[in-house]
Chains A and B, each alone.
Chain A
Amino acid sequence: MTNIEATGRQLVEALEGSSADYIEARLEESQRSHITYRGRELESIGQATAIGGNVRALVRGGWGFVSFNNLSDLPGRIELAVKQARLVGNEESKLALVEPVVDIVSSEIDKNPMTMPLAEKKQLLDEYNALIWRTPKLQTSIIAYGDSHKKVIFLNSSGSYIEQERSDITLRLTAVAAEDSEVQQVGLSAGSSGDFGSIHGLHQQVEQMAKHAVELLSAPQVKGGEYTVVLDPILAGVFVHEAFGHLSESDFVYENDHLRQIMVLGKKFGSTELNIVDSATIPGLRGSYRYDDEGVPATKTYLIREGKLVGRLHSRETAAKMGEQPTGNARAINYRYPPIVRMTNTYIEPGSASFEQIIGDIKEGVYAKNWFGGTTSMEMFTFSAGEAYMIRHGKLAEALRPVVLTGNVFNTLNNIDAIGNDLEMNQGGGCGKGAQVPLPVSNGSPHIRIRKCLVGGR
């Protein structure tokens, strides 16, 4: 029995005997490694192990939370969490009912990346770096590889006891080209829920990435303004995450009457072809799991169906307060944080259009590809493309400097007028909310076309 298993068993009785309305504990053991290259050389390599836990208590609607590395004095920590919760609470505690679960879930991928020798990981990264450096005019490269494996024990005062293991791999490659005082960069991201094989075989994409960085040195910047924009599946995935996903996280909504009115179920957001889903139940994706960090089973949730708002993401508290079903979307980045409502794997379902049909009747537009970043303020969002091209008379034309697109969620989704038949999931991102970043998620979409999208530029 490992350290946290023994601690977990000890905690069962302590939680059941607590005077809080509800109390839970999470214990976690993790290993991580990282390898980074800057330029031709490996720059940094390291390994880390961590052990820690937390106790979260609910008293009369108020929460107390105590996190620690030191597993001694657990009764004292439980007492502190309850005391804090009591200081906050002044109403009735509300949590959606969930059947207690007793379960042990081992890692779904038999390959735990932590058991692989560092030499084997390094060899693949060496290959990619060598490919990047075959490109002339290349100034430097950055490769950041990270992997982790963790075991989490969750238990609560309703009798749940869940052990889950999960692994995560991320890889981000960046090629930087420079000439005179111009600097341009292009990136490529990949990831998986522990299967190292899934970041193999990117050789061709890596080579293209480096060449594209050099091409950008002589590429023009788009003239700012409104365009018809076509997004590739990777960028459209970031778009759906930023533009709509965050707005469907009900912790933003549940205590805000104005937002509740805006986000009323049944409201029309897009055309009848538009379907948006969040699902933690798809095996093998980085956002997938069996139970969330409140011990609630994962679900597939339609957020938009046939253009209308039909669902949203919940924790037990937001579900109870909005009178809706819990969806199992309460997640914490690690034991130092309480769970909050988060996305998992978020995607636009495929439609029927081919890529040629999508761009065919565009006289002048922008084709934006590949992910650079994205952020949202609920109403407004921005996201940036790693690559962009002009579309002229239905055909792809000259390459552009990377573009930043922006929009207003309440009309941009309505302006999607074509949805491709080529859904792809992108595993290379990480999501940030509050201080909890980066959380493993994935996004996906087919190619989509947006009319009247605002593009920043000269």
Chain B
Amino acid sequence: MENILAQAKRVAEEAEVFMVSSEETPVQFEANRLKHIQSKQTSSVALRIIRQGRLGYASTTELSDTQSLVYNAVETAQFGMPARFELPSLASYPRIDVFNPHVESVSTEKMIELGEELIAIITNHTPDIVCEALVTKGTISLQIINSRRGQASYRKSIFSLGIEGSLIRDTDMLFVGESQSSCHPLTQPKEIADVVLQQLELAKNRASVSTRQLPVIFTPRGVASALIPSLMAAFNGKTVLEGASPIGNRLGQQVFDQKLWLWDDPTIAYRPNSRPCDDEGIPSQRTPLIEQGTVANFLYDLQTAALAHTKSTGNGSRNHGGPPVPSPTTLVIAPGNTALDEMVNDIKQGLVIEQLMGAGQGNILGGDFSGNVLLGYKVESGKIVGRVKDTMVSGNVYQVLKQIIAIGSEAKWVGGFVNTPPLYCPSLAVASKG
């Protein structure tokens, strides 16, 4: 790495070398049986330079061919955006625990056992369900050095356990599932299985709704699939800078319901998206996004922050080996004080939405969402009466979150990077084949 930095410094004013390597072991079950064991080793190095004031970028997995790497970065710098920021010099980082050595020592045999146990609990409950399960362990090490003597490095462990089941009767298909991930080994398949069993119970009966406006409870998974994509775009500093975020000029203003609090937090110990610093070497911090319904902050990397005349929030992330862009790490919505049962009890006729399919395909920037209820239930006179199908729910995130009846008291992790309680909304457009 020092060698690449030294070569780059000869041709550029500033340079930054980012190296990441990982080892991952996924154990895969198909049709209720063990099917595939994999082992994946990757390593890559990325070079970012500032040459004649402009940004250049190149990456490679050939760690020995440093000359081509420097050459490629120089070539792109002819056209790159003018760099408006300074790379960070030596900084002190918060201590964020994201490595548990026990992850590495979980044996493949133990991983197989976990998957088998998970499937067994679910097939005992519903014998004709067909499950796919995935048990994965991995470690990542990451290092950054730059020409201003900035340097950072850390190791992270990740363990995840997930299952998806499909239950087919004639041409009727029901999909259920749950997954969790952590920097600790996950050794309790029952917790995950219980979520799936509950879905199976609630979906046993069928119910239908007519095309009309109805109150809706989004479960944590429902919040993540329907509402989070739009919020991620709206709070991205880049969208704001371009004027394409509907809340970009509403900083400090009340846009959402007063009960709503949202923040980005890479500092929670042992969460898969936590880290001591971002991918540019900026120390991690917790960034409030919505406080009591008021827009509090946007998320920035170095360049976007400089262009917006503000400071990086430590959200520079490199996705798929590309250059850093602002991205959320872990999004948290604060729990409220209403139990899910109380919300359901309050509804005369309405829906509980677990998963909305296709919600991320509409005009995300504008906050519009519209999706097919892949897993959702009808509520009648305060009780869940069965699963709905052939039903679409449409709305706009800004209208939905302006007036929330209640926020649930039980927050849950969804997909490892969103932590949210259920949200109870007064009225959404529901279209159905009935």
One digit per residue, 1 when the CB lies within 8 angstroms of any chain A CB and 0 when it does not, for chain B 61-93 equals 110010011001101101111000000000000
> Is the beta-carbon distance between A183 and B365 smaller than 8 angstroms?
yes
* A383 with B81: CB separation less than 8 A: no
**Which A residues are in CB contact (< 8 Å) with B429?**
224, 456-458
In the complex, the answer to whether B362 meets A372 with C-beta atoms within 8 Å is: yes
Query: Closest approach, in angstroms, between the C-beta of A142 and any C-beta of chain B?
Result: 9
B63, chain A: closest CB distance, angstroms: 8
Q: Using CB atoms, name the residue of chain A closest to B77.
A: A45
Verify if B141 is at the interface (C-beta below 8 Å from A): no
Cβ-defined contact, A262 with B171, below 8 A: yes
Contact A375 B57 (CB under 8 A): no
> Within 8 Å of chain A (Cβ to Cβ): is B321?
yes
Are the C-beta atoms of A382 and B357 separated by less than 8 Å? yes
**Docked complex Cα distance between A430 and B205 (Å):** 37
Chain B interface bracket (under 10, 10 to 19, 20 to 34, 35 or more): 35 or more
Q: Is B40 an interface residue (CB 8 A)?
A: yes
Residue of B whose beta carbon sits closest to that of A81 = B39
Question: Hey, which chain A residues are within 8 Å of B33, CB to CB?
Answer: 255
Could you say which residues of chain A place their CB within 8 Å of the CB of B34?
62, 88
Looking across the interface, which residue of chain A has its beta carbon closest to that of B57? Answer: A46
> Does A202 lie at the interface of the complex (its beta carbon under 8 Å from any beta carbon of B)?
no
Let me know if B357 and A380 touch, CB within 8 A.
yes
Known: A118-B76, A140-B243, A456-B370. A384 touches B392 (CB 8 A): no
Name the segment of A297-305, A342-350, A357-365, A404-412 touching the other chain: A404-412
Instruction: Say yes or no: A119 contacts B43, CB within 8 Å.
Output: no
A68 contact set on B, CB distance < 8 A: 40-42
Number of A residues, CB within 8 Å of B: 78
Interface-located stretch among A8-16, A47-55, A159-167, A440-448: A47-55
Whether B341 sits at the interface, judged by CB under 8 Å, is no
B414-434 to A contact mask, C-beta < 8 Å, 1/0:
000000000000000111110
**Given A66-B39, A384-B358, A84 and B108 contact (CB-CB distance below 8 Å):** yes
- Chain A residues in 8 Å Cβ range of B362: 372, 384, 402, 404
List the B side residues contacting A118 at CB < 8 Å: 75-76, 78-79
Contact B44 A185 (CB under 8 A): no
Interface flags, A237-256, vs B, CB<8A=1, else 0: 00000000000000000011
Residue B310 is within 8 A (CB to CB) of chain A in the complex? no
B79 touches A122 (CB 8 A): yes
Q: Does B128 make an interface contact (CB < 8 A)?
A: yes
Partner pick for B366 among A47, A64, A184, A380, CB 8 A cutoff: A184
**Contact partners of A182 in chain B: CB under 8 A:** 246, 366
Residues from chain A with a CB closer than 8 A to the CB of B368 are: 221, 401-402
Complex CA gap A382/B362 in Å reads 11
Give A421 Cβ to nearest chain B Cβ, in Å: 29
Are A69 and B61 in contact, CB atoms less than 8 angstroms apart?
yes
Q: Is the CB of A185 within 8 A of B168?
A: no
A310 within 8 A of B: no
B137 at the interface (CB under 8 A from A): no
CB-nearest residue of chain A to B392: A456
In contact, B31 and A256 (Cβ under 8 angstroms): yes
Distance in angstroms between the alpha carbons of A8 and B65 in the assembled complex: 20
Residues of chain A with a CB closer than 8 A to B38's CB:
64-67, 84, 338
**Which of A17-25, A35-43, A147-155, A188-196 lines the interface with chain B?**
A35-43
Shortest B31–chain A CB gap in Å is: 4
Tell me which residues across on chain B come within 8 A of A336, comparing CB atoms.
Answer: 40, 42
Residues of A within 8 A of B153 (CB): none
CB neighbours (8 Å) of A41 from chain B are 81
Q: Is the CB of A42 within 8 A of B30?
A: no
With A256-B31, A382-B357 as known contacts, state yes or no: A185 contacts B363, CB within 8 Å: yes
Judge whether B371 is part of the interface by a CB distance below 8 angstroms.
Answer: yes
A456 and B431 contacting across the interface, CB-CB below 8 Å: yes
Is A178 in contact with chain B by the CB < 8 A criterion?
yes
Contact check, A49 vs B431: say whether CB atoms are below 8 A apart.
no
- The one of B75, B243, B371, B433 in contact with A47, judged by C-beta atoms closer than 8 angstroms, is B75
Q: A185 near B60 (CB under 8 angstroms)?
A: no
- Mark contacts of B331-369 with chain A using CB atoms, 8 A cut-off: 1 yes-contact digit, 0 otherwise: 000000000000000000000000001101111011110
Query: Which residue of the partner chain, among A35, A258, A382, A454, contacts B361 with CB atoms under 8 Å?
Result: A382
Q: Mark B1-44, 1 if CB is under 8 A from A, else 0.
A: 00000000000000000000000000000110111111111111
Asked if A373 CB lies within 8 Å of chain B CBs, one says yes
Decide if A377 touches B365 in the complex (CB within 8 Å): no
Residue of B nearest to A181 (CB): B246
A53 to chain B, nearest CB (A): 11
Task: Take A34-B322, A46-B58, A50-B61 as given contacts and tell me if A183 and B366 are in contact as well, using a CB distance cutoff of 8 Å.
Answer: yes
Partner of A379 from the list B42, B60, B171, B243 (CB cut-off 8 Å) is B171
Chain A residue numbers with a CB within 8 Å of B166 are 256, 378
Distance between Cα atoms of A66 and B166 in the complex (Å):
29
Distance A374 CA – B72 CA, assembled complex (angstroms) = 36
A-B contact pairs, 24 of them (CB 8 A): A42-B79, A45-B79, A46-B58, A49-B68, A49-B69, A51-B62, A52-B42, A52-B61, A63-B37, A65-B38, A67-B39, A67-B41, A69-B41, A84-B37, A88-B36, A176-B365, A181-B247, A185-B365, A262-B171, A374-B361, A380-B173, A380-B357, A404-B370, A455-B392
Residues of A participating in the B interface, judged by any CB pair closer than 8 Å: 34-35, 38-39, 41-52, 62-70, 80-81, 84-85, 87-88, 118-119, 122, 139-140, 176, 178, 181-185, 221, 224-226, 255-256, 258-259, 262, 336, 338, 372-375, 377-384, 401-404, 406, 408, 410, 454-458
Instruction: Sort A-B residue pairs by CB-CB distance and give the 4 closest, nearest first.
Output: A382-B358, A224-B431, A373-B361, A456-B370
